[in-house]
Amino acid sequence: MRRQLVAGNWKMHGSLEANSSLLQALVAAAPAACDVAVCVPFPYLAQAQQLLAGSSIALGAQDCSMHEQGAFTGEVSAGMLREFGCGYVIVGHSERRSLHGEGDAAVAAKAERALAAGLIPIVCVGETLQQREQEQTEAVIGLQLDAVAHLLGRHAARIVLAYEPVWAIGTGRSASAAQAQQVHAFMRARLGHRGVDAGSVPMLYGGSVKPDNARELFAQPDIDGGLIGGASLKAADFLGIVDAARSH
């Protein structure tokens, strides 16, 4: 049985004051029936670690270096994230792929570093609108998955995949539940062909998930929760989405 996970990706949002009220509201609600995580900007890890202490909400970051340590100005290692209580780290988000030129090999190297440091990498995959319109969705996602298949072969239950169609991120235009399910089913089949125990791999959907569409998305057989951007910044919305997950 795969447990559902709802993870918030705050992206570059937040302030000490705003984080404090958001995290206090989440902790007070004490979500328990599904796994919940918040992936915060690096400078706020210590604050979030402190505010989440003793709660069931896990802490995560939004990226890590592909290197263990060394002369990499501006980079943050997976080991450092672990020291601040992180359980998760997002790697290969489409904003990192498109704005920072991260390719599949870099994403795989980051996921490997995360695993070595004892973190669960949340590996993002997804197609652009142009790729979807040109019917390249499966080809694109297939290659993105192949890059991490060797890691999934060894750690199927210790890596989370997130399908985030680029055209659905921050646009208010979510994939329909049927579209998302179709890609998730393809992902499981593809990994199965690569020798991965695909039924054990948690797979999230991300892209304009809101309280009013979460239930239908999470009800799909191959969708195990969500990676939430904008709606993770408002306690009521995020808790509404968590609620949709826990009811399965």
Nearest residue by C-beta to ligand 13P?
229
59 binds ligand 13P (CB under 6 A): no
Cβ–Cβ under 8 Å, residues 144 and 103:
no
How near is the Cβ of 205 to ligand 13P at its closest, in Å?
10
SS3 call for 219? coil
How near is the Cβ of 226 to ligand 13P at its closest, in Å?
8
Contact pattern for ligand 13P over residues 1 through 40, marking x by CB under 6 A? --------x-------------------------------
Q: Of the candidates 206, 223, 224, 225, which one interacts with ligand 13P according to CB under 6 A?
A: 206
Sign of CA dihedral 146, 11, 209, 16: positive
Say how many C-beta atoms besides its own lie within 10 A of residue 97's C-beta: 19
Judged by CB, which is closer to ligand 13P: 45, or 231? 231
CA 26, CA 239: separation in Å to the nearest integer? 7
Q: Which part of the chain contacts ligand 13P (CB under 6 A), choosing from 53-61, 104-112, 136-144, 203-211?
A: 203-211
60 binds ligand 13P (CB under 6 A): no
Catalytic residues: 93, 164
Judged by CB, which is closer to ligand 13P: 137, or 213? 213
For ligand 13P, how many residues bind (rule: CB under 6 A)?
14
Q: Is 194 left (phi over 0), alpha (psi -120 to 50) or beta?
A: alpha
209 binds ligand 13P (CB under 6 A): yes
SS3 call for 182? helix
How near is the Cβ of 62 to ligand 13P at its closest, in Å?
8
Q: Of the candidates 77, 208, 213, 220, which one interacts with ligand 13P according to CB under 6 A?
A: 208
- Bridging pattern class, strands 57-61 and 203-206: unpaired
Cβ–Cβ under 8 Å, residues 59 and 45:
yes
102 binds ligand 13P (CB under 6 A): no
Say how many C-beta atoms besides its own lie within 10 A of residue 172's C-beta: 9
CA 43, CA 5: separation in Å to the nearest integer? 24
* DSSP E strand stretches across 128-247: 160-163, 203-206, 225-228
Amino acid, single-letter form, for residue 120: I
169 binds ligand 13P (CB under 6 A): yes
Residues that bind ligand 13P (CB under 6 A): 9, 93, 164, 169-170, 206-209, 227-231
